[in-house]
Structure 1
Amino acid sequence: EKQLNAPIEYKESFKVIGRDKVISSELAYRIADSAGLRNLLVHHYDEIDLDRFYDGLKGGIADYEQYIKEVNQYINK
């Protein structure tokens, strides 16, 4: 069983699995960037530009679908 590096923060968890080749590094960095949307929503919800937030969500859907595929491929190796 492979030991992965423990992430320091939520956003870093995606980069860790990218470095450890669970998912592609390109995808890992795109999803890590989307973690910023989560932080914005949770911590600064009263300052959100809804158009910008919506645009970020639309772009992220395909990335999360790819994330699911790559994690499944890794698990089923």
Structure 2
Amino acid sequence: MDRATRGIVLILRGHTAPTAGPIAAVVDTTHSLANQGEIIVTGQASILVWIRIAINYACPSTSAASPTRAPAAAEPTQPPAHQ
């Protein structure tokens, strides 16, 4: 199985969620508040604003769980060889 396929398998099985979840929570909430915070606080948020916020959460989550990162994170590390 090649590296990209292993990455996709790890993502689909949820192995990257522990990393992607906290990153998404912090980054996406900050991003959403910076871009749409005033609209939400004043009660003027339309369905389009909520769609934009959903996209804010999807993008960093996808990046954090990227197939190029997942296999390296899941590969077991070898202890150093004793000399």
TM-score normalized by the length of structure 1: 0.35
Larger radius of gyration: 2
Of Structure 1 and Structure 2, the greater helix share is in 1
